[in-house]
Amino acid sequence: MKRMHIHIAVTDLDASINFYSKMFAQDPTIRKADYAKWQLDNPRINFAISARGAKEGLNHLGIQVEDNAELVEMKARLDSLQGELIEEQGAACCYAQSDKYWVNDPSGIAWETFHTLDSIPVFNTSGDDASCCVPQPTAVGVSIANIQKKSCN
């Protein structure tokens, strides 16, 4: 079963954690000094926030799948789109290692489709402490949202 993913960049992590914990009626599933995530079942959503210097607001949207078979199914759907598809195998971001695919919608919003393989003790392994994990596009004229540098799940 798939789970909707939303990642929002915030400036005040503690205030945002307090707000969303009350709104969702539960504490974060994962909480770090710069990141929090709620794995909700009602609604079925992976909701993440981070305070890492990215532009405040929507960072990216995504669909989290439960296994590799669902990821293969989602990749087949993404392959039918006309935009650039970026593949990342074993990507390290947001305290997790995942296989993922990225695309932009027609408005330039970054969409991540991913299968989480394991948790890791660091936000990312890119060496860029201020960013999340949205990859830079490789094709001319393609943008991955309005995100400075890179952004994550």
> Is 113 domain-assigned?
yes
Structural domain span for residue 35:
3-119
The number of domains in the chain is: 1
pLDDT in tens, 24-66: 999 999 999 999 999 999 889 999 999 987 789 998 999 999 9
Q: Is it true that the peptide bond before 106 is cis, omega within 30 degrees of 0?
A: no
> Is 72 domain-assigned?
yes
> Is 98 domain-assigned?
yes
> Is 48 domain-assigned?
yes
Q: What is the pTM of this model?
A: 0.75
Confidence tier at 137 by pLDDT (50, 70, 90): low
| Residue among 103, 15, 119 nearest 60 (CA) | 103
How many residues make up the chain in this entry?
153
Question: CATH no. for residue 115?
Answer: 3.10.180.10
